[in-house]
Structure 1
Amino acid sequence: MQVIRNVSLFIVVLVLPLLGEAQPGPINANQGIIDGPVMRTTIPTKRLIPYDYQREADVVWSKRVWRSLDMRQKLNHSMYYPLDGYDSDGNWIRHNTHWSLWTVIKTEILAGNITVYSPYNPVAYTITDGDQFKYPILPKAGGNYNSDSVYREELSFYLYMFGEESDVPYVDIYGYDSIDQYGNLVYPPREMMPYSSKDIVSYKLKEDWFFNKETSTLDVRIIGIAPEIYVRDAQGRITGKKELFWLYFPECRYAFNNYLVYNEKNDAQWMSYDDLFWKRRFASTIIKESNVYDRDISTYRVGVDALLQAEQITEEIRNLEHDFWSY
């Protein structure tokens, strides 16, 4: 008999408590209450500064690279902490002064402000070209996370971790295996748990470095960002990493622009997540550059050699700017 795995019903119960309130960060906006010497309004209300317009004819050189932002690096802790979580009732518990990057991303996705792109081809799962933003996860016209159940169910596969499928079907009141109207065994839904900040071990960045001859400057544009989690085997051993989804970074900037990032040196000088990426206040390692083989560094370098190769690519980009200014 055909097996039915009932997932959608279970999704509705767990996903809806996630929504909470869509707000520009944990800001105290009570009238008459100022939590500190001043009311922090600069970051939550500031407008996005657009990138400078670049003419194709002015870009005389460019190099595409992919980076990995390891959340274990101390410089990246402002993106990783504070951790969010869930209580026994399934309520999403978030920090009351500032949020991690994952908390911001998930909040904006559920609010419908950021589009999720599948990391792989939905037809051929072996093709991983999600960083080209070919496969958006979108609701129906006029729909949203609350009203479109199909969109909500599809999105859950990118925001939740799933347990193993049960081999034991439901049992009816007479002690027999439960069967639906088509004569198929009905199995319990797979256990689901939403990803939290602690599950996001790294972020992958796709960016372009380019030299503009009109302004004589070397600049960089982040094109996409993807959260990553560990992949484990049946014994719980780490076997690699997996991209959850890709986000188009120019779209994310409108969301990142109004969320505060903790500054351990000065509580009066907190920046936004957009400022953090623009000022490149993060630690990263190059894991791939554009090349004729379209291969990652890990396919031909291992361990320290891979780190040295990443540093060599960085040094080549730096030297190129110096060469442009040499007469």
Structure 2
Amino acid sequence: MKMKSLTVGLLLASLMISGVVSAQQRKKTTRKTTTPPAQSSGYGSSGYGTTPTQQQPTQQTSSYGNNNQQQPTNQPQANIPIVVVKSTGNAALDTIKPSLRNDASIERNLIKDRQPLAYENIREDDAVYRQRVWREIDTREKMNLPFRYSADEDNGNQRFISIILKAIRDREITAFDPLDDRFTTPLTPQAVMESFSGGVDTVPVYDLQGNIERYEVRTKEVDPDSIYQFRVKEEWVFDKESSRMFVRILGICPVKPIYTSTGQFIDMSPLFWIYYPDARGVLSRFEAFNGKNFGARMTWEELFENRMFSSYITKTTMDNPYDRRLKDFIKDPILRLLEGENIKDKIFNYEQDLWSY
């Protein structure tokens, strides 16, 4: 009996020990499998994120980039060739094909033989009054629209800027530095064409797979209609021998507007100066547009000599000891125009006041 009771006691003790051990193992297993409650970030229940146990191991990224990420295939590389593409032409300088038949109802030969008349000589002792005036011609005005006549004729494009550029390219007119209106520094035709162009631009060329095949350097073409202002330097002289007031145009300078990359206007930039007395022979072979009578057109030399253009004064030697432009000390544009008209009246009144009635 004692042996049986001892055996039963040992069995009970072993069962109790095994129960305690199994309970501890179940408790450890529960701790391993139980996940802590997710933080209330608002992303777990919305589908934008998962709990830490559900997230897959990923590489860390930052705003500065990841070295393990693959570079895009269209990034420029050092071994991609660069090709310089020659300009196919300029709208202001394209070679115009001559007509193979008479493109008019009459034979027009006079325009080819026209020569400007020589200026009347003014002795230095007889020039008792002289004033220099700088003007600006805005071709957007209705009276100045002939400057923008864009038709093509046998002698080329009829825009005024195209006529000047063609004469410079053919070395019929010498261009001078735009920063000095005293005609001190001549420019080569190549330098003039570079200043007129819009520079160069590098354009990538892609293949069918979207990879960069090569880079092409192309010249930016400039619209000739964007040159809509011209500066004119002239001198008014009173000749006491003939008792007349003469005006002599000394130079003409085209002006190009400058814009930022966002299209904001900066300022007007002069391109070059030409000496007008040297250009009279060229301008006498080109006719200006006449919208009222196409058969009664005058030459460009006659247009300037007859003052058939509209302009406003921007600078003068009258009461200007500091050699400043009107906009340097008159900020209001309306007051600048009124001051320009006041200068015109002073020059006109000088001649009129010499007469007695």
CA contact (8 A) 2:138 2:229 kept: yes
CA contact (8 A) 1:210 1:219 kept: yes
> Root-mean-square deviation (CA), in Å?
2.8
Give the corresponding residue for 2:339. Answer: 309
CA contact (8 A) 2:157 2:163 kept: no
Q: Does 1:135 align with 2:185?
A: yes
Q: Give the whole-Å Cα distance in 2 for the aligned partners of 1:232 and 1:311.
A: 30
Q: Does 1:78 align with 2:154?
A: no
Q: Give the whole-Å Cα distance in 2 for the aligned partners of 1:58 and 1:15.
A: 54
Q: Does 1:112 align with 2:112?
A: no
Instruction: Kindly state the Cα deviation for residue 225 of structure 1 after the two structures are TM-superposed.
Output: 0.2
Instruction: Kindly state the Cα deviation for residue 27 of structure 1 after the two structures are TM-superposed.
Output: 7.4
Pairing of 1:274-313 with structure 2 (within 5 A): 274-290=301-317, 291-301=320-330, 302-313=332-343
Instruction: Kindly state the Cα deviation for residue 321 of structure 1 after the two structures are TM-superposed.
Output: 1.0
Give the corresponding residue for 1:320. Answer: 350
TM-score, normalised with respect to structure 2? 0.66
| Deviation by residue 1:251-297 (Cα, 9 ceiling, x = unmatched) | 11111010011111112211100000011100000000012110000
CA contact (8 A) 2:134 2:232 kept: yes
AA aligned opposite 1:61: Y
AA aligned opposite 1:114: I
Give the corresponding residue for 1:50. Answer: 118
CA contact (8 A) 2:130 2:235 kept: yes
Instruction: Kindly state the Cα deviation for residue 315 of structure 1 after the two structures are TM-superposed.
Output: 0.8
Q: Of 217, 224, 230, which residue of structure 1 is paired with 2:244? A: 217
Q: Structure 2: any 5+ residue segments left out of the alignment?
A: 1-82, 205-210
Q: Structure 1: any 5+ residue segments left out of the alignment?
A: 1-8, 84-93, 120-127, 139-150, 169-174, 176-186
Q: Give the whole-Å Cα distance in 2 for the aligned partners of 1:29 and 1:218.
A: 47
- Quickly say closer, same or farther: Cα 1:29–1:260, change in 2 above 3 A: farther
Q: Give the whole-Å Cα distance in 2 for the aligned partners of 1:58 and 1:106.
A: 37
CA contact (8 A) 1:256 1:272 kept: yes
Q: Give the whole-Å Cα distance in 1 for the aligned partners of 2:309 and 2:303.
A: 8
Q: What is the DSSP-based 3-state SS (H/G/I as helix, E as strand, rest coil) of the residue aligned with 1:206? A: strand
Instruction: Kindly state the Cα deviation for residue 98 of structure 1 after the two structures are TM-superposed.
Output: 6.4
Give the corresponding residue for 1:202. Answer: 229
Q: Does 1:35 align with 2:100?
A: no
Pairing of 1:84-99 with structure 2 (within 5 A): 94=152, 99=158
AA aligned opposite 2:163: V
AA aligned opposite 1:136: P
* Residue-pair matches, total: 261
CA contact (8 A) 1:82 1:95 kept: no
Instruction: Kindly state the Cα deviation for residue 210 of structure 1 after the two structures are TM-superposed.
Output: 0.7
Q: What is the DSSP-based 3-state SS (H/G/I as helix, E as strand, rest coil) of the residue aligned with 1:280? A: coil
Q: Does 1:14 align with 2:87?
A: yes
Q: Does 1:241 align with 2:268?
A: yes
Give the corresponding residue for 1:226. Answer: 253
AA aligned opposite 1:285: Y
CA contact (8 A) 2:238 2:246 kept: yes
Instruction: Kindly state the Cα deviation for residue 194 of structure 1 after the two structures are TM-superposed.
Output: 4.1
Instruction: Kindly state the Cα deviation for residue 81 of structure 1 after the two structures are TM-superposed.
Output: 1.9
- Out of 234-243 and 208-217, give the one that drifted further: 234-243
- Quickly say closer, same or farther: Cα 1:59–1:78, change in 2 above 3 A: same
Pairing of 1:250-269 with structure 2 (within 5 A): 250-269=277-296
Percent identity, aligned pairs only, is 28
